[in-house]
Amino acid sequence: MVNTNTSIEQISEIAVIIPTFKARNHILDVIDAIGCEVSRIYVVDDCCPDSTGDYVAATCKDKRVCVIRHAENQGVGGAVMTGYKAAIEDGMRILVKVDSDGQMDPALIMDFVSPIKNGEAD
């Protein structure tokens, strides 16, 4: 998702949004696999019963990570929208959603982002 009011030349900030619910056993591996091209990582704990957000906040040393917690479960769509909103408010220009359970390969992020940065997609 790109803010369409921004010219492609201005796009440089990449953010990853990770909605999480019951993924405590996988989340740190997912975060660790995200490359240095990404400026911010938003972990959205969707009122997770295993407190994945608290676990990430206490354990993860990656300074790019911002943990956001929902007081009530909003489902994956609500968690993604919360992450998008936070990223946009922080000035991020390219937003990529990655699942917290390890089923998506973060090594592919730049394959998706490159066409946007090159002006071939929006």
Residue 42 structural domain: 10-108
Decide which of 122 and 101 is more confident: 101
29 located within any domain:
yes
pLDDT band at 12 (very low <50, low <70, confident <90, very high): low
115 located within any domain:
no
pLDDT for position 117: 85
122 located within any domain:
no
Name 19's bridge partners. 44
22 located within any domain:
yes
Q: What are phi and psi of 74, to 5 degrees?
A: -115, 0
The predicted model gives 28-46 an average pLDDT of 96
Which DSSP helix (H) or strand (E) runs through 16? strand 14-20
Res 9 pLDDT > 70? no
121 located within any domain:
no
Looking up residue 54, the CATH number of its domain turns out to be 3.90.550.10
120 located within any domain:
no
pLDDT digits (tens, 9 = 90+) for 48-84: 999 999 999 999 999 999 999 999 999 999 999 999 9
Structural domains of the chain, count: 1
